[in-house]
Chains A and B, each alone.
Chain A
Amino acid sequence: MTELTVNHSAVTAAGGGIRTAAQLMPGPGWGPSCASGSPAVDAALASLSVTVGEQLLGAAAEMFRLGQGAVSAVDVYRTTDAAL
């Protein structure tokens, strides 16, 4: 059986910090729309804006999940310890 060691406060602090870092990530809405003078360039910019926005939100969500997961794990350990 794998040995289990958990520093509750350290892991909670790490999880909380990661969550905060995720919340400070840039969000969608990359700059104002602009008339580049070229329809092809405008279309590329619009498409990229959507893609980057979704990626940013998804990347932040993933980071938030990792932080939340660490915090939740400590909650589970703490609950289990209490039950034992």
Chain B
Amino acid sequence: MNWTSQDPGSGDTGALRARSGAMNTIVLTLDHARTTFRAHYEPVTTHEWKGAAGDAFRGSCAAHLSRLSSFINALAPYSAALMIYANEVESIAEEARALKLRTEAAQEQLAAAPAYVSPNTAAATNAAKSSGRACVPDPRTAAKSALASITQERAELVRRRQAADSKVTAALGGVAIGDWAAAGSALAQAGVRRPADFDADSIRRALLDLCTLTLQGDTASLPGLLALLDTWADDPSMMRDFLEGLGGSRLVRMLMVLDQALIDGRSAIAGDVQSALRDALSSASSMWSASEAADYISALIDSPGSTLSVAYLFGDPEVAPMSSTLVQAAADAILDWERKNGTLYTLVLNVVPGVGMAPDLVYRMLGEGPRVIDPADSIFRHLARDPQSTLDWLADPTRGHDRIIHWYQERNWHDGGGYAGPMLVWEALQTVPGGLLGPDMDPGVARKLAEVNAAIIKVWADPDSRFSGVMDDEALLALAGVIAAQLPVWADSTTTLESSSTVATQSTVVHWLGMQGWTTQISRDALSFLLGQVRSSDAASGALLDATKDLQGRLVASVGSTADFTHNDALERIAGLLGMIDGAQLGNELAVAAMRDRTVERTLAITGLGAGELAGKGGIAASLVLAGAEHLALESWANHYDTALDDLWRNTGPAKDRADEARETLMGLIDGWVPPEVVHKGGQSADQYLDSIMGWYDDKVRRLDEAKTA
């Protein structure tokens, strides 16, 4: 019964004390759990578990301990506040009971007193007052006086009760520690109501139950689902069990239902839940074997309307990277799907909603019409992140070649996400650890890379199956990266461009690097074709020219760094590179820059900078390739040299002019850099020496011209 002004002490103080005691028990139990928790995790030092995961474990435990302590500290005052309140209510109740008795007595006295006081009695009373003698008060007046006093005392009790209520209500304000409440609420909603019920299966079932509610259209359960997913997202085995329980088909439906909730404005956090599901797949993917990943992804892809969801799930390699196992399984599943259905696994949208999964995944407009979402693009951007694993995948003796055929020949990426994906993968492969030009060259890896490069070149650039689409700048920049990575080999090889059509791999010595290993030998047709592709983009042409200039700087700096790499060798390869550039007319498509016929003079100004100085600080040539030329001693010289070459390459004049300019540049190098005893060896003139060098230039130009003509 609620208290009233007549009964300000009403309330079940026994129950209040029981509540206080229960809270005290909770605090003590929590304190015990905290002690037990600490006793278990603190011994797991770096001696027992060293590594990033161990550090994360200790960090999470320390954070949880801190939050648990804060929680206990916040709960502890509740017990005391309730006890104080119960005592106060009890005190008020006792006083109220006393007042009640006094009230009853006063009322009885008032009732018993005569209603009329005689004049004699009044006179006697007044006389007694005047003389200072005691007198018997008027009973009626006395009773009234007592009742008035009681009323005041009761009012004071009411004020005390109001004060006690306010105080305890304020003290019982809720305690919030992080997002525990959301996770706890979600578990309770899913039927996991006691910690004693916890096990991996109950958590998994709770997640699945909340997903079921979501699929039934219940958006109220989303905060709880989000909290649970956030809590468990970094537990790969839990996420694996959860996602396997959910299944690929229902995962797709979840993402679509959440998308609709966003579009309809029924939930502001549906996007966060989608993101959490993607994180869950990222976490789970680390646990799957190849066959498990294949099973899961097949179910996902075979689900109706899965395209957008698959693109979304693989759409953020930085934040939610999927394991290479899952990514490769996804690529294979899409390959199979596209072969089976004879069309691209893409989604064409006439209207793109402003929210949900689609906006960030739309690649381009097809005119004014529909837009395209291509999961394979997301997947290939993932593949590019792990070149080592991707190289093995493409070199797989059973299916590797089939993969290259599909992704680099059969598939019309132009109608999907564009060619950036496959080109980025190809470029990434060039950086694989153990490759010929990479650190710690591994003969097996170098051969594998050479063979995959050859296979891709063959299907991409072979005259019988030549790529005929259009690539955007991102794809062409990646292609320029592939060519730039191969230039040290292609500039060196005397067999490069020998054949018109054969692309092959062979074990060869890269002379100027002093390295031996498996390399890709490209045909002149294929190289002409690849350079022709690059030529269609100013950005890609510029990037390739920069790489070429960088390589030539390294060639110059490498003279003398290996036993038999001479000025002749460097100049021949520089001439060959110039020939490749001019033969492909790479410079012609660039922005116009007036040909300045005296720029080589600036190269001449770099006198006294001999080969020894150029190479001396760079160490062996191979390290120059790895380190880049920027940090070498030739910086000031290279700046002028770059300018001269830049002017040369930006020349828009006819071939004859380019050749003249190449001669002039090379002669400038000879005059300013090559020692006289080298130039005039055997009594030859500088022009004769230049003629011998120009053979490399002419040869490359001729072969690429032939290729273009053919």
User: Residues of A with Cβ closer than 8 Å to B?
Assistant: 2-7, 10-11, 13-14, 17-28, 30-32, 34-41, 44-45, 47-48, 51-70, 72-73, 75-76
Residues of A within 8 A of B15 (CB): 31-32, 34-36
Is the C-beta of B235 less than 8 angstroms from some C-beta in chain A? yes
Could you list some 20 contacts between A and B, CB below 8 A?
A7-B49, A11-B49, A17-B39, A18-B37, A21-B36, A31-B15, A32-B15, A37-B2, A38-B165, A48-B78, A53-B188, A54-B180, A55-B175, A55-B180, A58-B180, A58-B181, A60-B198, A62-B231, A64-B195, A76-B287
A61 touches B198 (CB 8 A): yes
Residue of A with least CB distance to B162: A38
Residues of B within 8 A of A19 (CB): 198
Chain B residues, Cβ within 8 Å of A32? 15, 18-19
A contact residues around B606 at 8 Å (CB): none
Closest beta carbon of chain B to A54's beta carbon, Å: 4
Q: From A24, which residue of chain B is reached at the shortest CB distance?
A: B33
Q: Which residues of B contact A (CB under 8 A)?
A: 1-3, 9-12, 15-16, 18-19, 21-23, 25-26, 29-30, 32-33, 36-37, 39-41, 43-44, 46-54, 57, 60-61, 64, 67-68, 71, 75, 78, 85, 89, 161, 165, 168-169, 172-177, 179-185, 187-188, 192-196, 198, 200, 203, 227, 231-232, 234-238, 287
Contacts of B21 in A (CB 8 A): 31
Is the CB–CB distance between A21 and B48 below 8 Å? no
- Among A11, A24, A55, max chain B CB count under 10 A is at A55
Q: How far is the CB of B344 from chain A (nearest CB, A)?
A: 36
A67 to B37, CA, bound (A): 9
Q: A23-B196, A58-B184 are in contact. Are A51 and B176 (CB under 8 A)?
A: yes
- Is B236 in contact with A76, judged by CB distance below 8 angstroms? yes
How far is B166's CA from A40's CA once the two chains are assembled, in angstroms? 8
Given A27-B196, A48-B172, the answer on whether A54 and B40 have CB atoms closer than 8 Å is no
Contacts A18-B40, A39-B2, A40-B169 given; does A23 touch B195 at CB 8 Å: yes
Q: Of A37, A60, A70, A73, which one neighbours B195 at CB under 8 angstroms?
A: A60
Verify B19–A30 contact, CB threshold 8 A: yes
Q: Which residue of chain A is the closest to B3 with respect to CB atoms?
A: A37
Q: Which of B36, B185, B200, B235 contacts A17 (CB 8 A)?
A: B36
Chain B contacts for A2, CB-based, 8 A: 50-52
Given pairs A54-B188, A59-B71, 10 additional interface contacts (CB within 8 A): A6-B50, A6-B54, A7-B48, A25-B33, A28-B188, A54-B180, A57-B185, A57-B195, A65-B235, A73-B53
Q: Which residue of A lies closest to B26 (CB)?
A: A26
Cα of A41 to Cα of B195 in the assembled complex, Å: 28
Q: Is the CB of B18 within 8 A of A37?
A: no
| Dominant secondary structure at the B interface | helix
CA distance A23 to B37 in the complex (A): 11
- Chain B residues within 8 Å of A72, by CB: 235-238
Q: How far is the CA of A37 from the CA of B165 in the complex (A)?
A: 10
CB atoms of B48 and A11 under 8 A apart: yes
Contact: B183 with A38, CB < 8 Å? no
Q: Is the CB of A6 within 8 A of B33?
A: no
A58 to B61, CA, bound (A): 15
Chain B residue nearest in CB terms to A57: B184
Given contacts A68-B200, A69-B57, contact A3 B183 (CB under 8 A): no
Chain B, residue nearest A21 (CB): B36
CB distance from A13 to the nearest CB of B (A): 8
Neighbouring A residues of B51 by C-beta, 8 Å:
2-6
| A25 & B29 in contact (Cβ 8 Å cutoff) | yes
With contact pairs A37-B11, A51-B181, A66-B61 given, residues A24 and B196 touching in the complex (Cβ less than 8 Å): yes
A22 to B200, CA, bound (A): 13
Contacts known (A55-B177, A76-B287); A61 close to B50, Cβ less than 8 A: no
